[in-house]
Amino acid sequence: MEIKVATRQCRDQAGVPRQFHYFLTVDEEEASRLLCENYGVRIAEDSGDNAVIPAITTSAARIDELMTLLVDHCVGPAGLADVVADWL
């Protein structure tokens, strides 16, 4: 399942406007009679670029923190993996 969280229009280093759409991904995982939600992130750009990292955390608070960071800093698809790696 995906939930659209935000859309932001930002300018790149060349001053070109770019629009990014931020999505929360939710996957259910079963672990010995327990059902957990595993959260991830997808960023899509109007130009067609897309990046997704599923199953980052099972913590709703942590994924909210990451999503806020991504949206506030206008992180695009190309930078998603680096930002998540640094954040972890």
Three-state secondary structure call for residue 28 = strand
Q: Which two tokens stand for residue 36?
A: 């957990």
| pLDDT tens profile 29-87 | 877 788 889 999 999 999 899 999 999 999 999 999 999 999 999 999 999 999 999 99
Its pTM stands at 0.90
| pLDDT tens profile 24-44 | 999 988 777 888 899 999 999
Element (H, E) at 84: helix 80-87
Q: Say how far apart CA 41 and CA 53 lie, in whole Å.
A: 5
Q: Residue type for 52, please?
A: V
